[in-house]
Amino acid sequence: MPHSRSGWQWQIGWSSPEVRDYNGNVQKVGITAEVVSCLISKQFPQWAQLEVRPVELDGWDNTTFRLGDDKSVRLPSHETNVTQIDKEHRWLPVLAAQLLVPIPRPIAKGRPGCGFPRPWSVYGWLEGEPAALAGVADHDRLADDLGHFVAALERISTEGGPAPGPHSFNRGGPVSAWDEQTRATIDHLAGEIDVAGALEVWEAAIAEEWDGPDVWVHGDLTGSNLLLRDDRMCGVIDFGGTAVGDPACDLTAAWTMFEGASRQRFMATLPFDPGTWARARGWALWKALIEIPGRPLDDPGRSGARFGWSWDASGVVSQVIADFRSLFP
């Protein structure tokens, strides 16, 4: 099984029954359609006749199933993700009322049962296909759509909103929370990546601090969470990592999905200071680095296919370094 010296590597495939989180904990074992059907039948009998089927592209913090044509069921894959349920039920309706792009609508909360040990949720189903599956024909247009979504999210009042923490995997907090892991991974990949360049990017990222007002962050704006219809963004899903804090974590698409004119369009929509973009490069670097160790080149994580990236993980690292060096040769 893949592993690294820092002990954090996880394994995931398109339909893998086993996934490891940031701490190496096994998730997703035994979370099946049969279990979901049992939970629905016992707790929400009005929906018992609806078909339960897996989604085509699943995550790892939660396991998601379709429920009929207009609902979905989301079950935390590990105990650490349970706190996201109350957060989403509390805040998604607030955010949805102020966003033009649809986001998930919480409908009901479920209790442990049928052998499943954690609370779970029912949501309204959002139409559209994840960008990671659909592919992106016009990156300039997606850059505009995503940039305007991020800008709208950041304009929403943060009063009472959740501070960054374990529930958000520190999204919205300082990227330096991943300093030890990032340095260990860079060291582990000596000979495979530009170690000096990666360290330059990382040192620049952790040297900067956010001193602006807290803003809402989604926490994981990647191609698996952006829904498209006719090549336009028509929905954003998976707000498990949402928090209020530093916006840098929501800017990684600049290097994972965009380049050239589309990158400039995305960045122009979000005119942050250079320090914020430096931290955002750090987040993009971290996200790419942790997909590399121990994975074959065609692995959906390392290849970037799982996330709808425009490059494989090593390519994202190179994009981040090249962009940094174009500014600081």
Please check whether residue 182 is in contact with residue 189, taking contact to mean a CB–CB distance below 8 angstroms: no
From residue 221, give the alpha-carbon distance in Å to each of 190, 224, 250. 29, 8, 6
Helices (H) and strands (E) in the chain, counts: 10, 12
**Residue for token digits 């990032």?**
182
- The dotted CATH code for 19-127 is 3.30.200.20
Among candidates 64, 112, 67, 104, which has minimal Cα distance to 87?
A: 104
pLDDT in tens, 216-264: 999 999 999 999 999 999 999 999 999 999 999 999 999 999 999 999 9
pLDDT in tens, 95-150: 999 999 999 999 999 999 999 999 999 999 999 999 999 999 999 999 999 999 99
Domain covering 130-327, topology: Aminoglycoside 3'-phosphotransferase; Chain: A, domain 2 (3.90.1200)
From residue 125, give the alpha-carbon distance in Å to each of 86, 194, 225, 233, 256. 19, 42, 13, 16, 27
Which tokens belong to 21? 């989180």
Please check whether residue 162 is in contact with residue 234, taking contact to mean a CB–CB distance below 8 angstroms: no
Task: Work out the angle between the directed axes of helices 313-327 and 274-289 (0-180°, nearest 10).
Answer: 160
Among candidates 224, 227, 221, which has minimal Cα distance to 248?
A: 221
Task: Please state which of the ranges 9-18, 59-68, 296-305 shows the lowest mean pLDDT.
Answer: 9-18
Read off the pTM: 0.90
Residue 208: pLDDT over 50: yes
**For the CA atoms of 236, 241, 247, 250, what is the dihedral angle to 10 degrees?**
-50
- Where are the domain boundaries for CATH 3.90.1200.10 in the chain? 130-327
- Where are the domain boundaries for CATH 3.30.200.20 in the chain? 19-127
The pLDDT of residue 2 is: 26
